[in-house]
Amino acid sequence: MSFRLFACLFLLAPAFAGTNNVIIISAPRLDDLDLMDVSVAADVTVIDRAAIERSGAVAVPQLLEQEANMLVRGQGGNASDGQLSMRGFGDNSGVRVLVLVDGHKANRPDMGGIDWQTLPVSNIEKIEVIRGGQNVLYGNHALSGVVKITTKRGEDAGLQIDGAVGSYGYYSGSASYGGRVGDADFLGGLQHAQYDGFRENSATESTTANASAGWYMNDTDTLTLRASGGKSYLQFPGALTYRQMQDDPSQSRNLGDEYSESWSGQATLLYETERTWGAARMNAGASFINRENSISGIYNQNDIQGFSLAPRARFGSEDNFWMAGVDLFYDQLDQENYRDPARSIVKSWADINRITAAPYLFAQRTVAEKTIINGGARYEYAGTDNRYVEYDFFGAVDPSKSYDGFVGKQGWAAELSVSQELSEQWNVFAGYDRVYRYPTLDETASYQGYPLADPLNENLDPEHGNNFEIGTKYEDRTWRVSLTGFCLTLDNEIAYDDVANLNRNIGATRRVGLEPELAWQKERYGASSRWTFVDARFDGGADDGNRVPLVPWAYGVTSGWIEPFSRLRLSASYTFVSEQFQGNDEANALRKMKAYGLVGLRANYALLDSLNFYVSAHNVFDEIYATSAYSGGYYPGSGRSFRAGMTWVY
């Protein structure tokens, strides 16, 4: 272990070493939970409401690709489908990125992805993307980064109506109204979207409703309630061979009978207070998903409930303080699998619940006027009660495939960082994080209808490792320049072994990377470019030195914009993703997925201060490419498409 840690530091050093100095940089001060500022030593991107409205993005994954250079790996060829990837993770990368919606965890307890359709862009106020390990403050899943989504609240929102139409039968519409009455504000909205899909049998449809209410109790106390819910439908067109994709990427492997239909909802309650001794916050959340799936001849009903309680208190000033908190979670999963499409014959059922408790401490100390040191630690325990019953064709319980057992896992995280403000425009930081991730429910237990060699793999251990970062950022009225280097060494990484037919700890991996950003703007024009370069390899074992599958060595977004006159904004973007190995190809022996580059165009026009229009084109040159592939099965991305939309605020 010690050799690998020193190797990381050695590999990072040349990237930042100049002839006489080392360039490193700080992270900005995040408005963490409003009244509890924390200076986070990390590479952070904030996407505000203005950027969201200009983007023309129809779903959160597309917005994150455009505005934060996040890699999204989808299988349906549409903007509403896909799992997020940060810092060089391939298969199941989404379980290593924590997504919070108004402080409540959006990640499912299983490997299933987030239903982005039930999180409409029109209801989002701000997104913060925090790169790198953040386990001390945020816990499980925050191994490679955190995406914090804050939805709108009323205040002076007024009436807003949005609408859009586009290629392949896309259309969407939303309406919301909000305002303030005395010491309270309110907001309510309704959204609907429908899309036939670029590929055959890849249709999507969603209808959601949202509401929020806030009470400014006095000058120091606020209470905010947010809730949303709706119904969504998503078809799965399936994988194609390489030749099929080249001949016609829009075709489908199946007959349109593979889909997921779900009802979901979430509610959060946030209380914040500020006192002479510091500040405190109490966040409580609840969510549910009722999902019906029909995939590859497997028919099931999956019901998930999640509850969270997260009190946190800060003692001291904003510059020097210590913070204590505890995160409590309860996840409940009930599933029934059926032998027939009518769901009349039960094949098996599962009842699984997990309780997680994680106390933590964090401190910030300003040792000089502009030097900040942060440090903290977290202990986390997850106890999972697993019960699964499978029946044979005669209706009797099959004991060889059924199980009833309790699995308890525990781990810890730590961090230490220093940030320095060299001038009003220039900051530096360096930091260390001990990171971890617990197995999801279906990584350990076999209950989804796909039998594993060991139905309950109690020996599957959490991933854990060490993350090092150094970086710099310079920003003035014209320029924004940043560079972050990272090295992550990970033990016990979890991956599916298709030979052993089991999720297992594959051993050690190493990821070394650079994330540069350059942006320049004047009053009426500007340009920006943000990239990720990462070398992700196995470190030991039979695949020692091989690249981790589904991890491109480079990807980035370059864009430019111009405002010929005050109400018109024209912009263009180029997204590049380098070649990568297919999923399940740890031996690096299969055909590589080809690199691709996509060109996008967009025009925003403000007819009035309250009425805005946009038109956009995606994949202008209609390039054929795959967003993911597994053992010869390719999932094509969308072809050329166009959209037009409007927003009216009154």
Q: Among positive and negative, which fits the CA dihedral 494, 73, 59, 557?
A: positive
Using an 8 Å Cβ cutoff, are 544 and 507 in contact? Answer: no
Task: Render pLDDT for 351-394 as a digit per residue (tens, 0 to 9).
Answer: 999 999 999 999 999 988 789 999 999 999 999 999 999 999 88
Confidence of residue 39 (pLDDT cuts 50, 70, 90): low
106: Cα within 13 Å, side-chain hemisphere: 27
* Per-residue model confidence (pLDDT) at position 154: 85
In this predicted structure, which of 36-45, 174-183, 562-571, 626-635 has the lowest mean pLDDT? 36-45
Confidence of residue 38 (pLDDT cuts 50, 70, 90): low
Confidence of residue 4 (pLDDT cuts 50, 70, 90): low
In this predicted structure, which of 69-83, 163-177, 232-246, 250-264 has the lowest mean pLDDT? 69-83
584 vs 8 pLDDT, higher one: 584
Structure tokens at 455: 């139905």
pLDDT over 90 percentage in the chain: 78
In this predicted structure, which of 2-11, 323-332, 449-458, 590-599 has the lowest mean pLDDT? 2-11
Phi-psi region of 346 (alpha: psi -120 to 50; beta: other; left: phi over 0): beta
pLDDT over 70 percentage in the chain: 94
Q: How far apart are alpha carbons 134 and 40 in whole angstroms?
A: 9
* Per-residue model confidence (pLDDT) at position 540: 87
pLDDT higher than threshold 80 for residue 61: yes
Phi-psi region of 453 (alpha: psi -120 to 50; beta: other; left: phi over 0): alpha
Task: Render pLDDT for 473-532 as a digit per residue (tens, 0 to 9).
Answer: 999 999 999 999 999 999 999 988 888 889 999 889 999 999 999 999 999 999 999 999
* Per-residue model confidence (pLDDT) at position 34: 43
* Reduced 3-state DSSP string for 78-137: CCCCCEEECCCCCCCHHHHEEEEECCEECCCCCCCCCCHHHCCHHHEEEEEEEECCCHHH
Q: What's the mean pLDDT in 271-280? A: 93
Structure tokens at 143: 């191994």
Non-local CB neighbours of 140 within 8 Å, separated by 6+ positions: 98, 356, 358, 380, 382, 436, 437, 438
In this predicted structure, which of 80-84, 467-471, 639-643 has the lowest mean pLDDT? 80-84
* Per-residue model confidence (pLDDT) at position 86: 94
Q: How many helices (H) and strands (E) are present in the chain, helices listed first?
A: 6, 35
pLDDT higher than threshold 60 for residue 33: no
* Per-residue model confidence (pLDDT) at position 427: 92
Structure tokens at 136: 């001390």
Confidence of residue 78 (pLDDT cuts 50, 70, 90): confident
pLDDT higher than threshold 50 for residue 459: yes
Using an 8 Å Cβ cutoff, are 468 and 432 in contact? Answer: yes
Q: How far apart are alpha carbons 426 and 417 in whole angstroms?
A: 17
What distance, in Å, lies between the first and last C-alpha atoms of the chain? 60
Task: Render pLDDT for 290-337 as a digit per residue (tens, 0 to 9).
Answer: 999 998 888 999 999 999 999 999 999 888 999 999 999 999 999 999
* Per-residue model confidence (pLDDT) at position 620: 97
Q: What's the mean pLDDT in 173-181? A: 94
Domains in the chain, CATH or no CATH each: 2-649 (2.40.170.20)
Confidence of residue 8 (pLDDT cuts 50, 70, 90): low
In this predicted structure, which of 24-38, 226-240, 294-308, 375-389 has the lowest mean pLDDT? 24-38
* Per-residue model confidence (pLDDT) at position 150: 93
Using an 8 Å Cβ cutoff, are 534 and 505 in contact? Answer: no
Decide: residue 17, CB within 10 A, 0-12 exposed, 13-18 middle, 19+ buried. exposed
Q: What's the mean pLDDT in 94-110? A: 93
- Could you give the C-alpha distances from 90 to 435, 552, 580, 616, in angstroms and in order? 17, 9, 10, 30
Using an 8 Å Cβ cutoff, are 562 and 524 in contact? Answer: yes
Q: Which residue has the tokens 């298709």?
A: 498
pLDDT higher than threshold 90 for residue 24: no
pLDDT higher than threshold 60 for residue 19: no
* Per-residue model confidence (pLDDT) at position 7: 47
pLDDT higher than threshold 80 for residue 21: no
Could you give the residue ranges of the DSSP H alpha helices within 337-463? 441-444
- DSSP code at position 17: B
Decide: residue 6, CB within 10 A, 0-12 exposed, 13-18 middle, 19+ buried. exposed
Amino acid residing at 50:
A
Q: What's the mean pLDDT in 343-350? A: 94
